[in-house]
Amino acid sequence: MNRRPGFLGRDLAREQKAFLRRDRSRWDEHLARIRAFLGEGLQTAGLGGSALILGAGSGLEVPWALAGPGTVGWDADPWSRWRTALRHRRWPPWVFADLTGGLEALADLAWRATHHPGSARVREGAVARRRLAGLLPELDPQARPLAAWIREHRPGTILAANVMGQFGVVARRAVERAFQGVWPWTADPELPDPLAEAVDAWTARAIGSFLAVLADSGADLWLVHDRGVLFGDVPVTLGPMADSWVDQLRGRGDLEASDPLCGVQVLQACRGRAGTRCARWIWPVAEGQTHVMEALRFPPSKVDS
Ligand SMILES: C[S@@+](CC[C@H](N)C(=O)[O-])C[C@H]1O[C@@H](n2cnc3c(N)ncnc32)[C@H](O)[C@@H]1O
């Protein structure tokens, strides 16, 4: 063993740096809507309430001025708390841990599958890809650190601030690192890619576990996430609300769409909870990349309260 320790913090710090360096000239509507939604969650929690913000990041999307004094940030990027302090002049309590609870195990498995036993020598690419794709279904990521923290601290309100869509991105980085410079994915999107499918299935299990922990938390839930990612320069708008975000899309021409939640339906995954609010909007993240954002609120069910 083993892949380099501390990989998650480094990967997240790199992603966050790239995120903050993007041209934000077309982000005004996104930032206004996400801050309004998360701000409403924080105000509903009230000054005396206990709130937990997952994926708190640098606080670009989080109106910390509305957060009560006991509000806790959670983000495994080691710079997130510092950046929040610089942006909001405040030093909140913080948890720096993996929200999926499974990325360490994924990175270890990827390393073992791609390397000869007891050696730093990488196996031949096709063999390594096949081995890893075959072993990945055995991993069952469980959001245990999050569940344990919630059991101990019982937050009344939990905000998931645009974090779920990143679980798959970070999982792919862990796999790519194990291949040490060899691109592990099939180049032609028309061809099957069993390894990519296995990583997507891992991501779906991680998101499902994360949402089950939130649904069982007894807290008022305010969730914002990437619901869809569109590639291409075709302008899109959203039509009237529909169950599926794809049915809401209005645009001309060919669009390539991907699902950052890897098939997880959030409403179904929050079993036993009834959503009271749902909004979607378009976020033009960058040239040729547009995200469909979704904001959902799930108040505590009667049994919980
Ligand atoms: C798209 S950014 C959200 C930005 C943030 N809401 C803000 O206002 O700056 C996603 C955040 O989730 C964090 N994150 C992603 N995956 C994580 C994981 N598995 N565990 C803990 N934090 C994670 C990242 O470090 C990043 O700050």
Return the SS3 of 279.
strand
- Between the CA of 38 and the centroid of ligand 1 the distance, in Å, is 15
- Between the CA of 300 and the centroid of ligand 1 the distance, in Å, is 24
Residue length of the chain: 305
- Ligand 1 atom 13, closest CA: 55
pLDDT at residue 276 in the model: 82
Report yes or no: 202 and 139 within 8 Å, Cβ to Cβ.
yes
- Between the CA of 92 and the centroid of ligand 1 the distance, in Å, is 16
Using alpha carbons, list the distances in angstroms from residue 158 to 204, 263, 296: 21, 23, 12
77 lines ligand 1 (CB under 6 A): yes
pLDDT at residue 217 in the model: 96
98 lines ligand 1 (CB under 6 A): yes
62 CA: nearest ligand 1 atom: 8
pLDDT at residue 48 in the model: 76
62 lines ligand 1 (CB under 6 A): yes
pLDDT at residue 302 in the model: 66
pTM assigned to the model = 0.94
Query: What is the amino acid identity at position 26?
Result: R
163 lines ligand 1 (CB under 6 A): yes
pLDDT at residue 303 in the model: 58
Q: What domains, with CATH codes, occur in the chain?
A: 7-298 (3.40.50.150)
Residue ranges for the chain with pLDDT beneath 70? 1-5, 252-253, 302-305
Supply the DSSP symbol for 122. Answer: B
The residues, any chain, with a CB within 8 Å of residue 81's CB and separated by 6 or more, are 73, 75, 91, 92, 94, 96
58 CA: nearest ligand 1 atom: 9
Number of H helices, E strands in the chain: 10, 10
* β 289-298/256-258 pair status: unpaired
- Between the CA of 119 and the centroid of ligand 1 the distance, in Å, is 33
167 CA: nearest ligand 1 atom: 16
pLDDT at residue 1 in the model: 46
- Ligand 1 atom 26, closest CA: 57
11 lines ligand 1 (CB under 6 A): no
pLDDT at residue 38 in the model: 98
